[in-house]
C-alpha cells in the first residue's frame, strides 16, 4: 500500500502541530496516521488514493455516512451562503431545539454549545450551581471530554488528575467509581451525600471498549441521586440519536436523567455540543439564571442546519433500521469468527456501535478494569498491521468504539468480516 503522501504530510504536520495532529487519538495509528483526501459513502480515500471501509465515521457524528442526502447538503449550503453566523439568534436554533424537545424524554429545554467537552463542562457547572454542592461522581473508564473536572483517575478515596496541568484540588471534587458497581456508589453517597452535585455517566461506556449497563444499574442511579438531592446526568455525546434512535439511550433504558449532554450526531458532522434537561434546571444558565454560560459560535446556523436536516432525514427514512441491521450483521458475523478462531475475545456493542475486545476470558466486560486487562499490543498488531492493510479503517485504539452509518452496505459487511477472519 503506497503511503508516501501521508508520510510527507505527517512530516510537515510534525513541524507545526504538536504530535502532528489536532486531537491526540489521531496519532495513535502506527507508524503514522493516513491523511484523508475525501469520504465516499461508507468509505474514505486517503492522500495516496487508498480506499478504506470506514467504521470510524468521524468518531461518531456521521450517522448518514460521508455522502449527505440532498436536503442535508442543501440546508448546510444555504446557511453557509447566507453569511456563516451573526452573534444574534436565528430561527434554525429554535427549530432544532424544538425537534430535540419533541423526541428526547428528559429534555424540556436545551442550550447549544460547540463540542461535547463544552457540553459536559457546562453541565457540571450547572449541576454545581443548581445544587450548591461541589462533588461529582464519575465512572472509571468513562470519558467526558478534555475538561478539568473529569480528567481524573484513581478511585473515590484517592482521585488524582489524569493529565498534567490540572491541580490536585480540582480532582478532589471528582469521585471515580467502577461502572456497574452499586456498592461503591452507595459508599460515596454515605460519605459525601450532602456534597454530591451530580452523578455523571455515559449510559453505555463508549470510550472504553463498549460496556453495557447491567439490568437495573441506571434505575439504581436514578433512585439514589433522587434520594440525596443530587442530579443524574447522562452523557449521551456518543449514544445520543444513535442508541434507541431519536429517543436516545435514555428511552431505550427507560430512565430519565435530570440533564443530558449531547454532541456528535446532533450537529450532523459540524462542531457541536448541547446540554438539555428539566426546564427548571436549565433555566439556571445565564441570562435566565446565574450559572455563567456563553459562546461566540454557539447555535451556529450551519451546524444547526446540518443537525436538524440530519435528524429530520433520520425521522423520515429507514436510517435507524439500516444502521442497526448492519450492526446486528456485523456483530453476529464477528461472534461466529471469534467463537471459531479466538474464543477468548469478546464482541461488544448494540444498535450501530461495535467492537472486538481482546479480553482473555471470553466474558463481556462489566467495567473499565475488565477492559483494561485486554491485550492492547495484540490488538495493535492485528489491527494496524492487518485490518488497515486490507482496507478496513477501525477506531484508532483498543478502547474507542466503531460506528455504522447509513452509507454502509452489505458488501462492506462481507468484506470487513473476511478481513477480520484473515486478521484473527
Ligand atoms: N463525552 C463523551 C461520552 C464522548 O465520547 C466525548 C468524545 N468522544 C466527549 C464527551 C467529548 O466530546 P468532544 O470531543 O466533542 O469535545
This complex has an ipTM of 0.99
Range name among 179-183, 221-225, 376-380 with the lowest pLDDT average? 376-380
- Indicate if the pLDDT at residue 385 is higher than 80: no
Which band of pLDDT confidence, cut at 50, 70 and 90, is reported for residue 361? confident
Q: Ligand 1 mean position to 4 CA, how many Å?
A: 32
Question: Do residues 78 and 94 both lie within one domain?
Answer: yes
Q: Is 235 annotated in the active site?
A: yes
Does 424 have pLDDT greater than 90?
no
The DSSP annotation for 146-178 comes to S-TTT-EES-TTS-EESSTT--HHHHTTEEEE-
The set of protein residues with a Cβ atom below 6 angstroms from ligand 1 is 59, 115-117, 120, 143-145, 202, 206-207, 235, 237-238, 263
Quickly state the pLDDT bin for 30 (edges 50, 70, 90). confident
Q: Are 115 and 205 within one domain?
A: yes
Residue 121 CA, ligand 1 centroid: distance in Å? 11
pTM: 0.98
The number of the ligand 1 atom at minimal distance from the alpha carbon of 263 is: 15
Domain of residue 53, CATH code: 3.90.1150.10
Ligand 1 centroid distance, CA of 204 (Å): 13
- What's the average model confidence in pLDDT over 112-121? 98
What does the pLDDT average to over 297-304? 98
pLDDT digits (tens, 9 = 90+) for 209-257: 899 999 999 999 999 999 999 999 999 999 999 999 999 999 999 999 9
Residues 261 and 343 in one domain: no
Over residues 322-329, the mean pLDDT reads 98
* pLDDT score recorded for residue 384: 77
The reply to whether 343 and 363 lie within a common domain is: yes
The reply to whether 351 and 398 lie within a common domain is yes
Helix, coil or strand: residue 351: coil
Domain ranges, residue 355: 4-68+318-423
Mean pLDDT across the chain, nearest whole number?
Answer: 96
Q: Which residue has the cell 442511579?
A: 221
pLDDT digits (tens, 9 = 90+) for 252-297: 999 999 999 999 999 999 999 999 999 999 999 999 999 999 999 9
- Residue 314 and residue 320: Cα distance in Å, rounded? 7
Domain boundary among 293, 315, 337: 315
Q: What is the CATH number of the domain that holds 184?
A: 3.40.640.10
| Residue that terminates a domain, selected from 285, 315, 345 | 315
> Mind listing the pLDDT tens digit for each residue in 143-159?
999 999 999 999 999 99
Q: What is the DSSP string of 50-114?
A: -EEEESSGGGTT-TT-SS--HHHHHHHHHHHHT-S--SS--HHHHHHHHHHHHH-TT-SEEEEES
355 band by pLDDT with thresholds 50, 70 and 90: very high
Identify whether 412 is a catalytic site residue: no
Q: Which of 46, 235, 351, 412 is catalytic?
A: 235
The pLDDT of residue 347 is: 94
Amino acid at each position: 500500500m503506497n503511503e508516501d503522501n501521508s508520510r510527507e504530510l505527517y512530516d510537515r504536520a510534525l513541524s507545526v502541530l504538536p504530535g502532528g495532529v489536532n486531537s491526540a487519538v489521531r496519532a495513535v495509528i502506527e507508524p503514522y496516521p493516513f491523511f484523508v483526501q475525501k469520504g465516499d459513502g461508507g468509505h474514505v480515500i486517503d492522500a495516496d488514493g487508498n480506499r478504506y471501509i470506514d467504521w470510524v465515521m468521524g468518531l461518531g457524528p456521521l450517522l448518514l455516512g460521508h455522502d449527505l442526502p440532498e436536503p442535508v447538503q442543501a440546508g448546510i449550503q444555504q446557511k453557509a451562503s447566507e453569511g456563516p453566523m451573526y452573534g444574534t439568534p436565528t430561527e434554525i436554533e429554535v427549530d432544532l431545539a424544538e425537534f430535540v424537545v419533541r423526541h428526547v424524554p428528559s429534555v424540556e429545554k436545551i442550550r447549544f454549545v460547540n463540542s461535547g467537552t463544552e457540553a459536559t463542562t457546562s453541565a457540571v457547572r450547572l449541576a454545581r450551581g443548581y445544587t450548591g454542592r461541589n462533588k461529582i461522581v464519575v465512572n472509571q473508564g468513562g470519558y467526558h471530554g478534555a475538561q478539568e473536572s473529569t480528567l481524573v483517575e484513581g478511585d473515590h478515596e484517592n482521585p488524582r488528575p489524569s493529565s498534567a496541568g490540572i491541580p490536585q484540588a480540582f480532582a478532589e471534587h471528582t469521585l471515580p467509581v467502577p461502572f456497574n458497581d452499586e456498592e461503591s456508589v452507595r459508599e460515596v453517597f454515605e460519605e459525601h451525600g450532602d456534597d454530591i452535585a451530580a452523578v455523571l455517566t455515559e449510559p453505555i461506556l463508549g470510550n472504553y471498549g463498549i460496556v453495557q449497563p447491567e439490568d437495573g444499574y441506571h434505575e439504581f442511579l436514578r433512585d439514589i441521586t433522587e434520594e440525596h438531592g443530587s442530579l443524574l446526568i447522562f452523557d449521551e455525546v456518543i449514544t445520543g440519536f444513535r442508541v434507541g434512535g431519536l429517543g436516545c439511550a435514555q428511552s431505550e433504558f427507560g430512565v430519565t436523567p435530570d440533564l443530558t449532554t449531547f454532541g456528535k450526531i446532533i450537529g450532523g458532522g459540524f462542531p457541536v455540543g448541547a446540554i438539555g434537561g428539566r426546564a427548571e434546571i436549565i433555566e439556571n444558565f445565564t441570562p435566565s439564571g446565574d450559572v455563567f454560560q456563553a459562546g461566540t459560535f454557539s447555535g451556529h446556523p450551519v451546524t444547526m442546519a446540518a443537525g436538524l436536516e440530519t435528524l429530520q432525514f433520520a425521522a423520515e427514512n429507514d436510517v435507524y433500521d439500516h444502521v442497526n441491521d448492519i450492526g446486528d450483521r456485523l456483530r453476529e458475523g464477528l461472534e461466529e469468527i471469534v467463537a471459531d478462531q479466538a474464543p477468548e475475545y469478546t464482541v461488544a456493542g448494540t444498535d450501530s456501535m461495535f467492537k472486538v475486545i481482546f479480553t482473555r476470558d471470553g466474558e463481556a466486560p462489566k467495567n473499565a478494569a475488565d477492559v483494561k486487562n485486554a491485550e492492547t499490543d495484540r490488538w495493535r498488531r492485528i489491527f494496524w498491521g492487518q485490518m488497515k492493510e486490507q482496507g478496513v479503517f477501525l477506531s484508532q485504539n483498543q478502547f474507542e468504539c466503531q460506528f455504522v452509518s447509513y452509507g454502509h452496505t452489505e458488501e462492506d459487511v462481507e468484506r470487513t468480516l473476511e478481513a477480520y477472519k484473515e486478521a484473527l
